[in-house]
Chains A and B, each alone.
Chain A
Amino acid sequence: MTDLYDQQRAMRAMRMAAIQRGVIAILDVGTSKIGCLVLRFDGPDRFRDSDGVGAMAGQSAFRVIGAATTRSRGVRFGEVDAMQETERAIRTAVQAAQKMANIRVDHVIACFSGAQPRSYGVAGSVELEGTAVSENDVARVLASCDVPDFGEGREVLHAQPVNFALDHRSGLKDPRGQIGNRLSVDMHLLTVDSAVIRNLLYCIKRCDLEVAGLASSSYVAGVSSLVEDEQELGAACIDLGGGATGLSIFMKKHMIYADSVRLGGDHVTSDISKGLQVPLATAERIKTFYGGVHATGMDDREMIEIGGETGDWEHDRRTVSRAELIGIMRPRVEEILEEVRGRLDAAGFDHLPSQQIVLTGGASQIPGLDGLAPKILGQQVRIGRPLRVQGLPQSVTGAAFASSVGLCLFAAHPQDEWWDFDIPADSYPARSLRRAVKWFKDNW
């Protein structure tokens, strides 16, 4: 726990350094593509340390100066599967982005979708030392949270205080300076498999890059795809990726739940490949050109040449109707959505006041999904695209880049996390000295 705390603090310090330098890269390690954006921070309002908990991202403070994507290799289910391959793919993306930006980047913020994220809600409560809430009180209340036993080999990726309560007043965004007796906090912990993180960090290190932050892709997709009122009132963002489908629930502008389903667009592709007996590349192309989930009478008559290169004329001239293709795709898409529905139910999403669901990610572009999704997920479903950020090339504004854009926003304006607050004074080794200093401060 402590080494993770230190590690995250070190990352945060590195991110501050990178932002001071003005250039940072963000890296979205996905199953189907790896995207790299180079950000330049030159706006008047840079990242401010003094910002309280929970303010929206300041999108004017940075601009995208380099963007590159490459076909991902060596990644399965959003986790590193073959290290050398992944390293090469990261190198390709970073080099292309650097070339476009014409600047060298040394710091990178990465996100990934896999690693089996698990959400925990924890709560803590302390009596205030003085009458007003001080930084140290916030630190103490965060430290007082009783951390559940999340098992061996798992690490905390996000630990965000989502709610402060002072005596009987709840829902405080920033309790500092307020007067009361008892401060309590609700915190959202997201743990992931530590081996996956280690593998990813190793791949990034091999590319001579310093990791200045890590984020869960379902979280950052929510940051970029949910509009402000959805984040405020409560909404779920479902990031339909290639190898994994991330889902995150936001409430009062804080993520309160995140999860990932190890199913995605690649499974649809492999279904097509198996069903039509075509290579994966052809299946992918057929899916993107002709795919759909809602068959009509017209689709029976639309014949798709699926081709082949065997030399057998009959085999290479095969055609398939679009209805057949839809018949292959629909069950898999339904399965993914059912799985997501199950996770949402498990998280108690139906108890939220607003049940908005936003579908984003590459697989959300399947035609007809907006008709299919409400049948499974509920009535308030929309297909979301990421926010527009300054300097982003047109080619990376699509839904598939929701987590890349979200990571930009995350880099520009990170949520306050547990490790951003002071370490509680009484946990210091040099405790007596600190006490002495505190005594002087209090009495002079």
Chain B
Amino acid sequence: MQQMTVQRPAQPPKRDPAPSRVAYKAHRLWLTPFVRQLARVGIPVFVVTMATGWYLSNPTHRFAIVEKAQQVRRTVEERPEFMVKLMAVEGASPVVDDAIRQLLPVNFPISSFDLDLEDMQAKVAVLDVIERVDIRIRPGGVLEVAVTERQPAVLWRAASTLEMLDATGHRVASISARAGRADLPLLAGVGAQDHVDEALALIAAARPLAQNMRGLVRMGERRWDIVLERDQRIMLPEQNPVQALEQVLALNQAQDLLARDLTVIDMRNPARPTLRLADPAVEELRRIKGLELGGLAQ
């Protein structure tokens, strides 16, 4: 049998109070989209803008803000992680090393934010001896200057100085005496520095004459002369000087040309090699011719 008894005491009716007219109107006003937007966006934005504007209208506050920002920036920049403590120059001879250190006067320690690496690289690259320079800040606070030096390939006797040039004709350094780098071939003449590659090709071709060769002279800024011992000269053409030289070497090998009493082997016209004899040889030749002809004539 089911007992349909009331388990709980009768509840009072649910409270359902009517809103007052004012509350009702306020609620409706609040639900109006415009009012709502105004309260949620308009008024806060206005208040914040006004407050910020008022604060910034005072120059002291503006200055304080800027100063504080700079101070914070400094603090970050000067953290030990960003400090550079020493400079390492790699791949440079002691002289160049010194020169680089002279060029880059940096007071260590310094923040890496204060280093202008591109400017420093440009400064170092001004040195003739430097072929290539890479500057970077290595982890651990080291300013690394990696340098590739130019290798001198020839000496060039200019108007008043003696310069070392690399294979591209770029100046490497000056030198006081030829004996300082006796191992390097010598060039002379105006415009020789612009055709070092040609000169090097000739020097390579003239290896059999290396013992006798004193140097190469650029003649009239257009062609080369090879100057040998005993004031002998091989005058080479503008075009294809190496073939002309090889022709001379072949003659030399066949007929021992250079051992003879010649002053000039003129190959300016390769089709017509011309020899200029030394004065005694000319005399001798004349004498022999004279004997032949004189006998006949006498």
Q: Which residues of A contact B (CB under 8 A)?
A: 70-71, 88-89, 91-92, 94-95, 98-99, 102-104, 207-208, 281-282, 285, 290, 301-305, 307, 319, 322
Contact = CB atoms under 8 A, between A and B. Distances in A.
A367 to B, nearest CB: 13
Given A91-B24, A98-B31, A104-B28, A70 B16 contact: yes
Given A98-B27, A303-B4, 11 more contacts: A91-B19, A91-B21, A92-B19, A95-B19, A95-B23, A95-B28, A99-B27, A208-B24, A208-B28, A302-B3, A305-B6
Contacts of A303: 3-5
Contacts of B24: 91, 94-95, 207-208
B180 interface: no
A281 B10 CA distance: 9
Interface string B187-202: 0000000000000000
A305 B10 CA distance: 10
B27 A92 contact: no
B4 A91 contact: no
A92 B16 contact: yes
17 contacts: A70-B16, A92-B16, A92-B18, A95-B23, A95-B27, A95-B28, A98-B27, A98-B28, A98-B31, A104-B28, A104-B32, A208-B24, A208-B28, A285-B10, A290-B4, A302-B2, A305-B6
Interface of B: 1-6, 9-10, 13, 16-19, 21, 23-25, 27-28, 31-33
A91 B18 contact: yes
Given A302-B2, A303-B3, A88 B13 contact: no
Given A301-B1, A307-B9, A88 B18 contact: yes
A92 B31 CA distance: 15
Nearest to A316: B9
A70 B23 CA distance: 17
Nearest to A279: B10
B18 A302 contact: no
A72 B119 CA distance: 87
- Say whether chain B's binding surface is mostly helix, strand, loop, or mixed: loop
Contacts of A98: 27-28, 31
A45 B130 CA distance: 82
A208 B28 CA distance: 9
A240 B180 CA distance: 127
A319 B5 CA distance: 9
Given A70-B16, A91-B19, A92-B16, A307 B6 contact: yes
A124 B24 CA distance: 48
Contacts of A208: 24-25, 28
Contacts, number: 56
Nearest to B3: A303
Contact of B18 (A89, A102, A305): A89
A95 B6 CA distance: 34
Nearest to A282: B10
A304 B5 contact: yes
Contacts of B28: 95, 98, 104, 208
A91 B6 CA distance: 34
B31 A304 contact: no
Closest 8 CB pairs of A and B: A88-B18, A104-B31, A305-B6, A92-B18, A302-B4, A91-B24, A305-B5, A95-B19
A322 B25 CA distance: 48
B10 A307 contact: yes
A71 B2 contact: no
Given A98-B28, A303-B3, A71 B13 contact: yes
Contacts of A103: 31
Contacts of A89: 18
Contacts of A319: 5
Nearest to A306: B6
A92 to B, nearest CB: 4
Contacts of A104: 28, 31-33
Nearest to A91: B24
Contacts of A302: 2-4
Contacts of B4: 290, 302-304, 322
A98 B29 CA distance: 11
A94 B9 CA distance: 32
Please indicate which of the listed interface residues B4, B5, B16, B31 has the most CB atoms of chain A within 10 Å of its own CB.
Answer: B4
Nearest to B14: A71
Given A92-B19, A104-B31, A281 B5 contact: no
Contacts of B16: 70-71, 92
Contacts of A91: 18-19, 21, 24
A104 to B, nearest CB: 4
Contact of B6 (A102, A301, A304): A304
A351 B68 CA distance: 95
A103 B34 CA distance: 12
A276 to B, nearest CB: 13
Contacts of A95: 19, 23-24, 27-28
B31 A281 contact: no
B30 to A, nearest CB: 8
A411 B19 CA distance: 27
A304 B4 CA distance: 6
A295 to B, nearest CB: 14
Contacts of B9: 307
A302 B3 CA distance: 6
A201 B222 CA distance: 116
B214 to A, nearest CB: 103
Contacts of A281: 10, 13
A207 B20 CA distance: 11
